Chain A
Amino acid sequence: MLAWTIYISFLGVAVLMCLPRGNARAARIVALTTALGGLALAIGGFLAHKPGADIATIAKLPWIPSLGIEYHLATDGISIVLVLLTGLAAVAGVLFSWNIEHRAKEFFAFYLALIGGVYGVFLSFDVFLLFVFYELAIIPKYFLIAIWGSTNREFGAMKLALYSFVGSAMVLIGLVAAFVVAGGHSMNLITLAKFPFPESFQTWAFPLVFVGFAILAGLWPFHTWAPTGHVAAPTAASMLLAGVVMKLGAYGCLRVAMTLFPAGLLVWRDAIAWLAVIGIVYGAMVALVQKDFKFVIGYSSVSHMGFVLLGLMTLNEVGLSGAVLQMFSHGIIAGLLFAVVGRMVYDRAHTRDLAILEGMGLAKAIPFAAVTFVIAAVASMGLPGFSGFVAELQVLIGAWRAMPTLAVIAGVGIIIGVAFTLRTLVKAFFGDEAADVSPRQNESAAVLRPQPHHEELEPISVSERFGAVMLIAVTLVVGLYPRVLLDVIVPAFGSPLYDALRKGGWL
């Protein structure tokens, strides 16, 4: 049944293409129906999932028999959680792009194609199929940003597309080589994971495939697509980019690179853990000095994704399950943050410059946005009660056991994270009108600065309220009762995929 999450998305694309041009309302309704259908299927699948080490096959058909490639869809505890995340992010994204009027039909067609690709990646257990869906997701991203984006959109879109494509090219080299070395009979993930690749092979194949996937997860120093891409993207696309697309990268690392090449992982583990920690601290520090509201969130994504990668490198159960939980949690929180910045603030104030926003008194003008952002910020900082807290704590505990120095540095990153979040929060919403601006600055800013006319800002719409409440509720539920996800995630590491890692005694 879960396979229908993929089909329904592409079906939605087909329906949208048949709609008459210019009927934005119909396009929105089709998109929302499709996204809700996907979410319903995902929730159904999640509830039906029995926690355990089993890999539940959904569909398994021969696809290209002469190469042993199969159309193999399956789930385990990790993928089901991410499918659920995709469903939530898809619905939220549609709700927050309810105001798209310009070429709405095409917008939602690309949007649903991207969603379909993402579902596909999370459900594939044949590496070839996984790669097909992974690359399928690149092109819609490009168009979503290049057509409907804002600041420097063509540059951001092209950069994102090329970074993703270079990453997938690296993955492809590794996969072709691995496929041939393993005999060329099967691309099945489980079969390949059992194959003992020579250690010398793993030593170069692992970093190639891992980094190839990790580019999309925002691994420092290959993260630079993320801030420019997020900033250029329209709200729904940046929600998806940060919410689920970056998770595709991390998922690929965990699912493919780490399971296929465990010996290579051992060789490169420390180096990658260091890169992850540098990403955490660097992302946070750069976010601290940004002038553009959206750039702050863009860099914060780099920082938070660093925790995912660090969690993967801990190679213990606490750290790994923390990494998966952080994928989910960041997907929700980043979606919320981008929704506030892109839809609630930018679409109304038409600026994202923190210096200008400071004087607009947004907390009074759009209180709902302010409240949402406060909650999202608090969740993002990792305060107890929200999902971010549990996830980052788990990663830190895992890291403390495996590599204490890095855990300490990552802790510093959290503190900087608090600093930039609070700074942004104060500047964007609770700025003192006309205060803190020296006379000289005031002259130059007077032209740019719109006078605060609270009544002129369009009120927060119903669809936005729905979206925000949904995402906040999810992060609260997971934060207060993390076992709802952890009980599913943790047993999944007992599956045969991770045999090699367990035999190494690291898991």
Chain B
Amino acid sequence: MSFDYLQLLKLCAPETIMVVTALVVLFLDLAWLRTEPNRTRMTLAAMFTAAGCIAAFMWMLVVPEKASLLNGMLVVDPLTQLVKQSLLVLTLFTALLSIETTFTDHVGEFFALLLLATVGMMFLVSSEELLMIFVSLELTSLSLYILTAFNKHNAKSAEAALKYFLFGGMAAAVTLFGMSLIYGLSGATNLRAIATALTGPTPDPLLLAAIVMTVIGFGFKVAAVPFHLWAPDAYEGAPTPSAAFIASGSKVASFFILAKVMMLGFAGAEGSGAWKAYVPGWVPLLAVIASLSLVLGNLAALAQTNVKRLLAYSAIAHAGYALLGVIANGPLGLGALVFYVVTYALTVVGAFAVVAMVETEKGQGNLSDFVGLSRREPVLSLCMMVFILSLAGIPPLAGFFGKFYVFVAAVKADVKNLGYLWLVILAIAMSAVSLYYYLQVLKRIYVFPSEEGAVSQKGSLIGKTAVVVLALAVLALGCFPGWLLERILSGLAVFKP
């Protein structure tokens, strides 16, 4: 079999650019910047990272490819390119918000790991083959574990990383076991080949076991109940940029690949989670996970006093909403899912950026530290309001349309009997609960009287600009969702489950 390495390199160019950027950042910091002040190092490294992201982004824009190589190990099509582009945008903003923080003097290593995690996610997104999926999943996870532990002055950071790592290691092991079962059953590692091999009148019990095991690993990555236990600690303990990246980029990639594995690999074993029409398969499994996440995430968030923990529980709840898109099982569901997680990730990066700025000012991110923010930082407060209200699903922000689209997809999955309406009703009811805790944050910012009246000068111009841009993006994607939606849908045209 002859193989065109040049083509492979061309297809992998964005990933290659990112790897090269990682090495350059690492080398530059090691060679020349050691003696510079921390702030300069951070800014320069972030600028290089941003440049790498933009270069990779532009490459994909200029050279749109469509190919599937090596038995589906590398699949490049408009949809995966779109998801990869959003991953790059998220990395870019995470890098910019890192400038605001001062938790480490291993600047080069931090940005190199950030970039490597992104590379892992990009490969994860563009693979339809189990082995490749597992390898890139591990590349992402290992980088993220280290990023979590990066604040060496804080014991909480180490604790969070250890929890994240132990849970993650276990989940990965179980997933690998599940994948080996799948290979045993089907004799294939390509997702589409697995689906063809596994079609039978009734699903094999062993296949069901394999499905459950595979779902555990992805459930861990997306922080869905009952695999969510690491999330609150990791979000709280990790340095804020790392937490932002775990909450955004990692979520996007994991959800996308979860949907692909389920919809492509287990096509035929979906079963049904419709009301009173239960059939075993992965859909009812995910339906249970989704409803647990919705209920537990939203209820536990009510009791939080730390904004990062609150965002963690809200992330668990949002995993529940996003799973509705996977449950919808079809192009519409996948489209809704991508729209939902991309807009959610943009919102949550912005929210974490504001938290990071409050942390640098006050030392912590407790709810009480947000009191009077509207007097100190009117622009940041307005942006935070946009992010929080988008998370709560208030129109005309992106979060509202994302939810709406996911709900439509879920109901459409069974129009005749409205079988999935129960899940939608639960999700909408829980979003009413969520407004309470989101308003708790905004209440601190706007309502509570504050002592100080002076506008603070903390926070760099770059960081603030990034936050404003994100807020505008969330508003624009809410007012004109069609812009992103049309791109997703045209990408979906080539995606045949």
Is A161 located at the chain interface by the 8 A CB criterion?
Answer: yes
- Evaluate contact between A166 and B432: CB separation under 8 angstroms: yes
Rounded to whole Å, the gap between the CB of B441 and the closest CB of chain A is 13
Contact with B along A145-188 (1 / 0, CB 8 A): 01100000010001001100110010011001101110010000
Given that A65-B482, A131-B395, A154-B447 are known contacts, is A177 also in contact with B432, CB under 8 Å in the complex?
A: no
Residues of chain A contacted by B489 (CB below 8 angstroms): 66
Is A476 located at the chain interface by the 8 A CB criterion?
Answer: no
- Evaluate contact between A132 and B395: CB separation under 8 angstroms: yes
- Evaluate contact between B394 and A180: CB separation under 8 angstroms: no
**Which residue of chain B lies nearest to A105 when distances are taken between CB atoms in the complex?**
B378
Residues of chain B contacted by A161 (CB below 8 angstroms): 435, 439
Is A281 located at the chain interface by the 8 A CB criterion?
Answer: no
- Evaluate contact between B431 and A169: CB separation under 8 angstroms: yes
Given that A139-B389, A143-B447, A158-B436 are known contacts, is A180 also in contact with B408, CB under 8 Å in the complex?
A: yes
Looking at A66, A106, A135, the one whose CB has the most chain B CB atoms below 10 A away is: A66
- Evaluate contact between B428 and A132: CB separation under 8 angstroms: no
Is B10 located at the chain interface by the 8 A CB criterion?
Answer: no
Is A447 located at the chain interface by the 8 A CB criterion?
Answer: no
- Evaluate contact between A173 and B408: CB separation under 8 angstroms: no
Contact with B along A319-355 (1 / 0, CB 8 A): 0000000000000000000000000000000000000
Residues of chain B contacted by A373 (CB below 8 angstroms): none
- Evaluate contact between A66 and B482: CB separation under 8 angstroms: yes
Q: How large is the interface on A (under 10, 10 to 19, 20 to 34, 35 or more residues)?
A: 35 or more
Is B106 located at the chain interface by the 8 A CB criterion?
Answer: no
Contact with A along B400-412 (1 / 0, CB 8 A): 1100110110011
Is B66 located at the chain interface by the 8 A CB criterion?
Answer: no
- Evaluate contact between A162 and B412: CB separation under 8 angstroms: no
Residues of chain A contacted by B425 (CB below 8 angstroms): 173
- Evaluate contact between A143 and B446: CB separation under 8 angstroms: yes
Rounded to whole Å, the gap between the CB of B54 and the closest CB of chain A is 29
Partner of B446, one of A65, A147, A179: A147
- Evaluate contact between A176 and B435: CB separation under 8 angstroms: no
Contact with A along B18-38 (1 / 0, CB 8 A): 000000000000000000000
Contact with B along A119-138 (1 / 0, CB 8 A): 00000000010011101101
Partner of B411, one of A67, A154, A180: A180
Is B396 located at the chain interface by the 8 A CB criterion?
Answer: yes
Residues of chain B contacted by A176 (CB below 8 angstroms): 404, 407-408, 411, 424
- Evaluate contact between A162 and B395: CB separation under 8 angstroms: no
Is B459 located at the chain interface by the 8 A CB criterion?
Answer: no
Is A96 located at the chain interface by the 8 A CB criterion?
Answer: no
- Evaluate contact between B486 and A65: CB separation under 8 angstroms: yes
Query: CA A176 – CA B422 in complex, angstroms?
Result: 12
**Which residue of chain A lies nearest to B414 when distances are taken between CB atoms in the complex?**
A180
Partner of B429, one of A133, A147, A169: A169
- Evaluate contact between A135 and B400: CB separation under 8 angstroms: yes
- Evaluate contact between B411 and A136: CB separation under 8 angstroms: no
Is A1 located at the chain interface by the 8 A CB criterion?
Answer: no
Is B485 located at the chain interface by the 8 A CB criterion?
Answer: yes
Given that A135-B395, A184-B412 are known contacts, is A66 also in contact with B447, CB under 8 Å in the complex?
A: no
Is B155 located at the chain interface by the 8 A CB criterion?
Answer: no
Residues of chain B contacted by A142 (CB below 8 angstroms): 439
Given that A65-B482, A180-B415 are known contacts, is A169 also in contact with B421, CB under 8 Å in the complex?
A: no
Residues of chain B contacted by A138 (CB below 8 angstroms): 394
Query: CA A154 – CA B215 in complex, angstroms?
Result: 43
Is B362 located at the chain interface by the 8 A CB criterion?
Answer: no
Rounded to whole Å, the gap between the CB of B142 and the closest CB of chain A is 39
- Evaluate contact between B482 and A64: CB separation under 8 angstroms: yes
Residues of chain B contacted by A195 (CB below 8 angstroms): none
Is A63 located at the chain interface by the 8 A CB criterion?
Answer: yes
**Which residue of chain A lies nearest to B389 when distances are taken between CB atoms in the complex?**
A139
Query: CA A179 – CA B424 in complex, angstroms?
Result: 14
Given that A135-B400, A138-B394 are known contacts, is A181 also in contact with B415, CB under 8 Å in the complex?
A: yes
- Evaluate contact between A66 and B394: CB separation under 8 angstroms: no
Rounded to whole Å, the gap between the CB of A177 and the closest CB of chain B is 6
- Evaluate contact between B432 and A169: CB separation under 8 angstroms: yes
- Evaluate contact between A63 and B389: CB separation under 8 angstroms: no
Rounded to whole Å, the gap between the CB of B388 and the closest CB of chain A is 10
- Evaluate contact between A66 and B428: CB separation under 8 angstroms: no
Contact with B along A15-56 (1 / 0, CB 8 A): 001000100000000000000000000000000000000000
Majority DSSP secondary structure for residues of A touching B: helix
- Evaluate contact between B396 and A132: CB separation under 8 angstroms: yes
Rounded to whole Å, the gap between the CB of B202 and the closest CB of chain A is 30
Rounded to whole Å, the gap between the CB of A55 and the closest CB of chain B is 23
Rounded to whole Å, the gap between the CB of A18 and the closest CB of chain B is 11
Residues of chain A contacted by B418 (CB below 8 angstroms): 177, 180-181
Residues of chain A contacted by B401 (CB below 8 angstroms): 64
Residues of chain A contacted by B421 (CB below 8 angstroms): 173, 177
**Which residue of chain A lies nearest to B415 when distances are taken between CB atoms in the complex?**
A180
Is B481 located at the chain interface by the 8 A CB criterion?
Answer: yes
Given that A64-B482, A165-B435, A173-B425 are known contacts, is A184 also in contact with B408, CB under 8 Å in the complex?
A: yes
**Which residue of chain B lies nearest to A147 when distances are taken between CB atoms in the complex?**
B447
Residues of chain B contacted by A143 (CB below 8 angstroms): 442, 446-447
- Evaluate contact between A136 and B446: CB separation under 8 angstroms: no
- Evaluate contact between B395 and A136: CB separation under 8 angstroms: yes
Is B443 located at the chain interface by the 8 A CB criterion?
Answer: yes
**Which residue of chain B lies nearest to A180 when distances are taken between CB atoms in the complex?**
B411
Query: CA A147 – CA B395 in complex, angstroms?
Result: 22
Query: CA A17 – CA B436 in complex, angstroms?
Result: 26
Residues of chain B contacted by A135 (CB below 8 angstroms): 394-395, 400
Rounded to whole Å, the gap between the CB of A142 and the closest CB of chain B is 7
- Evaluate contact between A165 and B432: CB separation under 8 angstroms: yes
**Which residue of chain A lies nearest to B401 when distances are taken between CB atoms in the complex?**
A64
Query: CA A398 – CA B436 in complex, angstroms?
Result: 41
**Which residue of chain B lies nearest to A176 when distances are taken between CB atoms in the complex?**
B407
- Evaluate contact between B481 and A64: CB separation under 8 angstroms: yes
Rounded to whole Å, the gap between the CB of A443 and the closest CB of chain B is 36
Rounded to whole Å, the gap between the CB of B411 and the closest CB of chain A is 4
Residues of chain A contacted by B436 (CB below 8 angstroms): 158, 162
- Evaluate contact between A172 and B447: CB separation under 8 angstroms: no
Residues of chain B contacted by A180 (CB below 8 angstroms): 408, 411-412, 415, 418
Query: CA A306 – CA B461 in complex, angstroms?
Result: 54
Rounded to whole Å, the gap between the CB of A192 and the closest CB of chain B is 14
Rounded to whole Å, the gap between the CB of A449 and the closest CB of chain B is 30
Partner of A146, one of B424, B429, B431, B443: B443
Contact with A along B180-224 (1 / 0, CB 8 A): 000000000000000000000000000000000000000000000
Residues of chain B contacted by A136 (CB below 8 angstroms): 394-396
In chain B, positions 444-497 with a C-beta closer than 8 Å to chain A are: 446-447, 481-482, 485-486, 489
Given that A131-B395, A177-B411 are known contacts, is A162 also in contact with B400, CB under 8 Å in the complex?
A: no
Query: CA A197 – CA B447 in complex, angstroms?
Result: 45
Residues of chain A contacted by B447 (CB below 8 angstroms): 143, 146-147, 154
Query: CA A76 – CA B389 in complex, angstroms?
Result: 32
Residues of chain B contacted by A172 (CB below 8 angstroms): 404, 407, 428
Residues of A at under 8 Å CB distance from B?
17, 21, 62-67, 106, 128, 131-133, 135-136, 138-139, 142-143, 146-147, 154, 158, 161-162, 165-166, 169, 172-173, 176-177, 179-181, 184
9 smallest A-B Cβ distances: which pairs?
A: A132-B395, A180-B411, A146-B447, A169-B432, A64-B482, A169-B428, A176-B407, A166-B432, A165-B435
Residues of B at under 8 Å CB distance from A?
374, 378, 382, 389, 394-396, 400-401, 404-405, 407-408, 411-412, 415, 418, 421, 424-425, 428-429, 431-432, 435-436, 439, 442-443, 446-447, 481-482, 485-486, 489
Q: Beyond A64-B482, A132-B400, A161-B435: 18 further Cβ-contacts under 8 Å?
A: A62-B482, A64-B481, A66-B485, A67-B408, A138-B394, A142-B439, A143-B442, A146-B446, A147-B447, A165-B432, A166-B432, A169-B431, A173-B424, A173-B428, A176-B411, A177-B424, A179-B408, A184-B408
A-B contact pairs, 17 of them (CB 8 A): A21-B378, A64-B401, A64-B481, A66-B482, A106-B374, A132-B400, A136-B394, A136-B395, A139-B394, A142-B439, A146-B447, A147-B447, A154-B443, A162-B436, A166-B432, A169-B431, A176-B407
